[in-house]
């Protein structure tokens, strides 16, 4: 059982309940030892139901404390003891994972609340507001089981789900990428494009076949009807809004916020972000920079359906129009 004194010591040591702002000397090993010792005190079948259930809730409290301590340590000093690997019992492993998941989201939000910048204040207010109206899922994943992706995180469009590789990210990259993925969640244009894409897919399950048909028709010198032209433009526009334009909007907001946090010393240098931002011209707005950067980064597709001149030309025209918006 966790005594009241121990609970108080834990509370004072980690400042739980408040933002994990300052570096704290968290003794992860002694927390883990307390958990191990508690394991040995399992009352067992001879004990009463109440005794067993008390033991169980103390066990859960110890596991949650460890998750809280681990993430506080990570955010305050970039140390990651990965206690998860040491949880041998599958139920404890799952409990720890779930606790770390919840604490990683809440503490990252709390951490960002320290920033007085208007970008940060608006970002957090938008998130807190949207989360009350729209589903949101946040999951830590292991590098090995994340969609075989090279990316350190992802936003599952349509499911409003953020996935982050906790085991792969250092603290500063964690914060930058956390902001970026939440920016996708806040992007109403992205949500609309995803929803409109589902409507289009339901209306026309074979839409890509239809588009290829239109491309072939044009090649044969047959006039494209206004409905066909509208379908091509609608499909291309939705694809760009879900892809390149969504990245431009999210990175514009992410980089602005990153620079604020850098100037406030709330985040340390992130090498890849600084390398990208070094290409920004001072007179250029963040939005114009991101448009230029992503336009250069994303090659114009030339394979598959894009070999048809009508489709390829419409893509290029709509893309350049969107980049001027
Ligand atoms: Zn993104």
CA of 155 to the centre of ligand 1 (A): 7
CA distance 323 to 250: 14
Structure tokens at 249: 């909007």
CA of 151 to the centre of ligand 1 (A): 10
26 φψ region: left (φ > 0), alpha (ψ -120 to 50), beta (else): beta
Scored b (16 or more CB within 10 A) or e, 117-131 reads: bebbeebbebbeebe
CA of 31 to the centre of ligand 1 (A): 37
Relative to beta strand 153-156, strand 161-165 is antiparallel
pLDDT at 20 over 80: no
pLDDT at 15 over 60: no
The confidence score (pLDDT) of residue 146 equals 62
The confidence score (pLDDT) of residue 229 equals 97
The confidence score (pLDDT) of residue 142 equals 76
The percentage of residues in the chain with a pLDDT greater than 70, rounded to a whole number, is 90
Structure tokens at 278: 């070094």
CA of 90 to the centre of ligand 1 (A): 33
Does the model's pTM come out above 0.85?
Answer: yes
CA of 193 to the centre of ligand 1 (A): 15
* List of long-range contacts for 141-148, beta carbons under 8 Å, 24+ apart: 141/165, 141/166, 142/167, 143/167, 143/168
The confidence score (pLDDT) of residue 152 equals 84
CA of 115 to the centre of ligand 1 (A): 22
Asked which of 36-40, 238-242, 264-268, 305-309 is least confident by mean pLDDT, the reply is 36-40
- Residue range 193-229, pLDDT digits in tens: 999 999 999 999 999 999 999 999 999 999 999 999 9
Q: Which residue has the tokens 């990683």?
A: 104
Per-residue pLDDT, averaged over 36-40, amounts to 91
CA of 147 to the centre of ligand 1 (A): 15
Query: Can you say how many angstroms the Cα of residue 198 is from the centroid of all Cα atoms in its chain?
Result: 22
CA of 156 to the centre of ligand 1 (A): 10
Q: What is the DSSP letter of 157?
A: T
CA of 187 to the centre of ligand 1 (A): 11
CA distance 267 to 117: 13
- Residue range 152-192, pLDDT digits in tens: 899 998 899 999 988 889 999 999 999 999 999 999 999 99
Query: Can you say how many angstroms the Cα of residue 140 is from the centroid of all Cα atoms in its chain?
Result: 9
CA of 164 to the centre of ligand 1 (A): 12
CA of 272 to the centre of ligand 1 (A): 14
CA distance 49 to 34: 23
CA of 152 to the centre of ligand 1 (A): 11
CA of 135 to the centre of ligand 1 (A): 19
Of 260, 296, 301, the residue nearest 276 (C-alpha):
296
- Residue range 130-149, pLDDT digits in tens: 999 999 999 998 776 665 56
CA of 243 to the centre of ligand 1 (A): 9
The confidence score (pLDDT) of residue 3 equals 41
CA of 301 to the centre of ligand 1 (A): 19
- Residue range 52-98, pLDDT digits in tens: 999 999 999 999 999 999 999 999 888 888 888 888 888 999 999 99
The confidence score (pLDDT) of residue 150 equals 74
CA of 181 to the centre of ligand 1 (A): 6
């Amino acid at each position: 059982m966790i005594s009241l004194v121990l609970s108080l010591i834990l509370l004072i040591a980690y400042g739980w309940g408040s933002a994990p702002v300052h570096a704290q000397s968290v003794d992860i090993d002694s927390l883990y030892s307390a958990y191990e010792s508690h394991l040995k005190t399992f009352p067992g079948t001879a004990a009463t139901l109440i005794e067993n259930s008390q033991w169980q809730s103390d066990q859960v409290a110890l596991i949650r404390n460890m998750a809280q301590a681990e993430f506080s340590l990570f955010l305050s000093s970039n140390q990651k003891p990965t206690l998860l690997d040491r949880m041998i019992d599958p139920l404890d492993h799952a409990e720890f994972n779930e606790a770390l998941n919840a604490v990683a989201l809440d503490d990252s939000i709390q951490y960002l609340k320290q920033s007085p910048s208007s970008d940060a204040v608006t970002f957090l207010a938008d998130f807190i507001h949207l989360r009350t109206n729209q589903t949101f899922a946040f999951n830590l994943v292991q590098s090995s089981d994340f969609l075989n992706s090279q990316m350190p995180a992802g936003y599952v469009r349509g499911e409003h789900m953020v996935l982050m590789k906790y085991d792969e990210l250092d603290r500063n990259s964690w914060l930058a990428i956390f902001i970026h993925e939440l920016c996708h969640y806040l992007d109403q244009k992205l949500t609309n494009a995803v929803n409109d894409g589902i409507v289009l897919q339901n209306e026309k399950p074979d839409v890509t076949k239809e588009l290829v048909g239109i491309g072939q028709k044009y090649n044969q010198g047959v006039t494209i009807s206004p409905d066909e032209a509208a379908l091509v433009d609608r499909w291309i526009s939705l694809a760009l809004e879900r892809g390149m334009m969504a990245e431009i909007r999210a990175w514009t907001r992410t980089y602005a916020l990153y620079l604020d946090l850098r100037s406030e010393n709330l985040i340390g240098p992130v090498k890849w972000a600084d390398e990208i931002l070094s290409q920004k011209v001072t007179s250029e707005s963040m939005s114009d920079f991101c448009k230029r950067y992503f336009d250069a980064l994303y090659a114009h597709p030339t394979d598959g359906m894009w070999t048809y001149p009508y489709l390829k030309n419409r893509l290029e025209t709509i893309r350049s129009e969107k980049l001027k918006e």
